Structure 1
Amino acid sequence: MSKQTVLVIDDERDIRELLTITLGRMELDVDAVGSVSEARNALANRRYDLCFTDMRLPDGSGQEIIELISATYPDMPVAMITAYGNVDAAVNALKAGAFDFVSKPVDIHLLRRLVKTALRLSEERRAESGNKAAPGADRLIGESPVMVEVRSKIAKLARNQAPVYIGGESGVGKELVARLIHELGPRASGTFVPVNCGAIPSELMESEFFGHRKGSFTGAHADKEGLFQAAHGGTLFLDEVAELPLHMQVKLLRAIQEKAVRPIGGRDEVPVDVRILSATHKNLAALVEQGQFRQDLFYRINVIELRVPPLRERRGDVPRLADFILRQLAVESGGAPGTLKPDALAALEAYQFPGNVRELENILERAMAMCEGDTIEADDLMLPQRTSLPTDASPATAGGMPVPNAATPAGPPAPRNPASDGSLEDYITNIERDTIIKALEESRYNKTATAKKLGITFRALRYKLKKLGID
């Protein structure tokens, strides 16, 4: 079996010799050159599995090499060699298509890990060339133009190690996108560690992210690894990154730049090999302008931005999504998949979905519990009523609900709605739970009799019991 090949481009002889010796010990075949022109000749005459290029070269820049390889040899990962602390150059290299970057002086251990990851990616790219299946099509449902574009970007982003910022409203599926970027890339065999930055108390954040040593503070009874160490060799997904307090943003920036963390109470830094993906439903750029999010961290995690569109921008995907969700619910409940009647499907396609795909899942789950048999009608969806009259509605009703006539004097104030103290969904769920428990008690916990009393099928009752957590 022939050796894998690496091209090293650097005008410093010491760096060329160091990389040649190090990579040679990894049983790789190395060619080392010192200029852009020599690199172009080498690339034209031999196929390489990996390339390292310095940023500054006598007759050009490493950026030229990266752009050339990205355009002409897309299956070849290329890594930039940068001066220590030159974050701007590293970010520009990643945007141009670089797989990753290493800083001078070169850390041999980090270099070896990078090489192994890059070569694994190179093999996967060549193995998958010719495979036209859209990545993630089995989970990222939809054939609308915007979703086809999202899947295409995911495939490209999976090929490198650039930090990716995933933007989009709540419920659009940002974590699913992050998982696909991880699973389709060379880190798929590593761990995907998702963390909700808004769910960690501020005083525990440093310990959660970087770990601690035994005895470093009250309650530290043993060493504990942090999220960075847990994601070593894999991907760390920072969900709701906008919720990080400013003091933690500083520490996170250092960990990302240095590729190392120092546990609380520890003397030495621990190297970590982690790809950073982040997301939030907030406008991160606006928070930077307001001084609530550090600009340097924003630029570091937002090397490449991927926007996930809201459901209202891809209404044509609603029928396919609904069918997929109903089939998933059927698997969970052990019953037959539900079907949407035309009026129900039309209602879903016309709805705005402020909660996006997550809201669609909740609506269909509730509808399956409320419908007769396996057929869902528009009323079973219990969609929130429109606040303005549709053009084709009669003046007396809107969405099936009576509305005041402008010529009719307003009556006495409406009675206070108990649902105003919480969400409508919680209010309805509580009523449903109380009704079922009362029917169970009256039927002496005979489920068949309870279903008959409630006017629903036995399967629907079983589904509701599981959904509501009623034993």
Structure 2
Amino acid sequence: MKKARILVVDDDQDLLTATRILLRPNVKEVLVEHNPERLMGLLEKNDIDIVLLDMNYKSAINTGNEGLFWLNKIKEKFPKVDVVMITAYGAVDLAVKSLKQGASDFIVKPWQNEQLLQTLQTIYNERLPTPKAKAQPTERDQHGLIGKSAIMEDLHYKLDKVAPTEANILILGENGTGKDLIANAIHQRSLRQRESFVKVDVGALTETLFESELFGYKKGAFTDAREDRKGRFEHAHLGTLFLDEIGNISLQQQAKLLSVLQNRAVVPLGSSQPIPVDIRLISATNVPLKVLADESRFRKDLIYRINTLEIQVPPLRERGEDIVLLAEHFLKFYSDKYHKNIAGLESNALSKLKGYHFPGNVRELQYSIERAVIMSDQQSIRAEDILFSPIEQQLPEERFDSGMESHNLEEIERKAIKSAMERYNGNISKAAKELGLTRAALYRRLEKYNL
């Protein structure tokens, strides 16, 4: 890259200075400009190879449209110039849109210096005479993420871009879509992959357990505190902390979490001494972002802390051909687990899977295939072997069988849980499995409905 000429366009003077200092020893020439109105003139006067172009110049708007406007101007008049878009907030979808409009890549700030240099080096190498063969889309099975649909390829691309950054990530998606797998995949593709990945289901923590589990405690802090214990933040030091079901924590818990994230330090219960922590934070929730933004439910200042970037995980019903891939994967897994010789899925079984809307997503598909494998005595799975989640099937039946005309979802859920608990004589594990819930989630609902 020693022969490269690079133009950096951003209205942040500090960023321009830092980028110029970083790039100067690695390239032939670095030009910087804070006013995008001047960039076309600079391109006319200089033989530029790569433009680093900010997506936003009007801080009160922050739509990214300014960057897309200048990207189109550059590609229209200087089609051979490579453009790398810069974004500073959770506009990954907008950045992906810029790729479709001709950008060579995008990078999220704050970035790792090595990451920026590697991105520029890769783009510059592709400008050299010897072309690189581009890999064809294939089925992917990286860190448990199976799929070759277009929507999953797009998701993998986003993960590859955001994982090496230090940005806090909020994963959004329906129950059963695999948000925990996404979190683990981000960690495995990050610069912290050799360090700990610590998962906490914060939605299952009571007010009294929240602080001791996350922040730790000193001996004697409370009655059962017989020794010092590190919290999850300390266990995740230098690694990744994954807070699952973060949309379910109380406002009081949110205030405590925000304080730790702001100060980058925890104070264990029974201590007054803060302990610095260096973690990469990933959070997940099934609560839509618009609902989460209601300040009576969730603090907006905390949303901004946890949501530098957001990743939307698609529901299974939008993944098309991936349904068959996943079904075959689970079939092999459970056939091996239960020592059964099942060759595959018959055509009528495949048709049944393809025609179902999977309200329980991947978790429901997994549950259905496991049950089919257990119950089947044949060498292949037939349509009649596949039964879908009882909780999804029971809800409308129970509502109308009981004579209720109400569409109250909480009442429907309450009746489904009560029915499952009665069917299994109070066995939490069996009831939770039938309902497609974790034990912790079922405990919370039992307490919620006073069952």
TM-score norm. by structure 1 comes to 0.59
For residue 419 of structure 2, the aligned residue among 421, 433, 440 is 421
Structure 2 equivalent of residue 312 of structure 1: 317
**For residues 421 and 243 of structure 1, do their structure 2 counterparts lie closer, same or farther at Cα, with a shift above 3 Å needed?**
same
Is the 2:168–2:307 Cα contact (8 Å) retained in structure 1?
Answer: yes
Structure 2 equivalent of residue 375 of structure 1: 380
**For residues 205 and 123 of structure 1, do their structure 2 counterparts lie closer, same or farther at Cα, with a shift above 3 Å needed?**
farther
Structure 2 equivalent of residue 209 of structure 1: 214
* In the alignment, structure 1 residue 263 sits paired with structure 2 residue 261: no
Is the 1:338–1:368 Cα contact (8 Å) retained in structure 2?
Answer: no
Which of structures 1 and 2 has the bigger CA Rg? 1
* In the alignment, structure 1 residue 198 sits paired with structure 2 residue 196: no
TM-score norm. by structure 2 comes to 0.61
1:56-71 map, 5 Å = none
Amino acid at match of 1:355: G
CA-to-aligned-CA distance 1:366-415 (integer Å, 9 cap, x gap): 111111143222222234596899xxxxxxxx9xxxx9xxxxxxxxxxxx
CA distance in 2, matches of 1:424, 1:353: 25
Amino acid at match of 1:193: V
Q: Secondary structure at the match of 1:422?
A: helix
Q: Secondary structure at the match of 1:166?
A: strand
Is the 1:367–1:381 Cα contact (8 Å) retained in structure 2?
Answer: yes
CA distance in 2, matches of 1:75, 1:186: 25
Is the 2:358–2:364 Cα contact (8 Å) retained in structure 1?
Answer: yes
Structure 2 equivalent of residue 362 of structure 1: 367
Provide the aligned C-alpha RMSD in A: 5.4
Amino acid at match of 1:272: D
Amino acid at match of 1:263: V
Q: Secondary structure at the match of 1:165?
A: strand
**For residues 382 and 266 of structure 1, do their structure 2 counterparts lie closer, same or farther at Cα, with a shift above 3 Å needed?**
same
Structure 2 equivalent of residue 286 of structure 1: 291
**For residues 260 and 65 of structure 1, do their structure 2 counterparts lie closer, same or farther at Cα, with a shift above 3 Å needed?**
farther
Q: CA shift at 1:272, angstroms? A: 1.5
Structure 2 equivalent of residue 222 of structure 1: 228
For residue 189 of structure 2, the aligned residue among 177, 184, 206 is 184
Q: Secondary structure at the match of 2:238?
A: coil
For residue 246 of structure 2, the aligned residue among 216, 234, 241 is 241
CA-to-aligned-CA distance 1:65-118 (integer Å, 9 cap, x gap): 99999x9999989797xxxxxxxxx778998765443xxxxxxxxxxx955676
Q: Percent identity?
A: 30
Amino acid at match of 1:147: M
**For residues 267 and 20 of structure 1, do their structure 2 counterparts lie closer, same or farther at Cα, with a shift above 3 Å needed?**
farther
1:313-332 map, 5 Å = 313-332=318-337
Amino acid at match of 2:278: V
Is the 1:169–1:310 Cα contact (8 Å) retained in structure 2?
Answer: yes
CA distance in 2, matches of 1:14, 1:354: 48
Amino acid at match of 2:209: L
**For residues 34 and 142 of structure 1, do their structure 2 counterparts lie closer, same or farther at Cα, with a shift above 3 Å needed?**
closer
**For residues 316 and 91 of structure 1, do their structure 2 counterparts lie closer, same or farther at Cα, with a shift above 3 Å needed?**
closer
Structure 2 equivalent of residue 144 of structure 1: 149
Is the 1:77–1:121 Cα contact (8 Å) retained in structure 2?
Answer: no
Structure 2 stretches of 5 or more lacking a match? 59-64, 76-80, 96-105, 127-131, 402-414, 431-451
Structure 2 equivalent of residue 300 of structure 1: 305
**For residues 135 and 46 of structure 1, do their structure 2 counterparts lie closer, same or farther at Cα, with a shift above 3 Å needed?**
farther
Structure 2 equivalent of residue 349 of structure 1: 354
CA-to-aligned-CA distance 1:197-236 (integer Å, 9 cap, x gap): 1122321222322334455444162252432x33333322
Q: Secondary structure at the match of 2:334?
A: helix
Is the 1:259–1:271 Cα contact (8 Å) retained in structure 2?
Answer: no
Q: CA shift at 1:355, angstroms? A: 1.4
For residue 272 of structure 1, the aligned residue among 264, 278, 284 is 278
Instruction: Work out the number of aligned pairs and report it.
Output: 377
Amino acid at match of 2:157: S
Structure 1 stretches of 5 or more lacking a match? 57-62, 81-89, 102-112, 390-397, 404-416, 433-471
CA-to-aligned-CA distance 1:33-71 (integer Å, 9 cap, x gap): 7966999989x88999x999xx99xxxxxx9999999x9
1:111-150 map, 5 Å = 115=113, 130-131=134-135, 136-138=140-142, 139-150=144-155
* In the alignment, structure 1 residue 167 sits paired with structure 2 residue 172: yes
Q: Secondary structure at the match of 1:141?
A: strand
**For residues 422 and 13 of structure 1, do their structure 2 counterparts lie closer, same or farther at Cα, with a shift above 3 Å needed?**
closer
CA distance in 1, matches of 2:374, 2:337: 13
**For residues 98 and 347 of structure 1, do their structure 2 counterparts lie closer, same or farther at Cα, with a shift above 3 Å needed?**
closer
Amino acid at match of 1:421: S
Q: CA shift at 1:282, angstroms? A: 2.2
CA distance in 1, matches of 2:416, 2:264: 52
Q: Secondary structure at the match of 2:145?
A: coil
CA distance in 2, matches of 1:374, 1:118: 53
Amino acid at match of 2:345: L
Q: Secondary structure at the match of 2:146?
A: coil
CA distance in 1, matches of 2:252, 2:326: 41
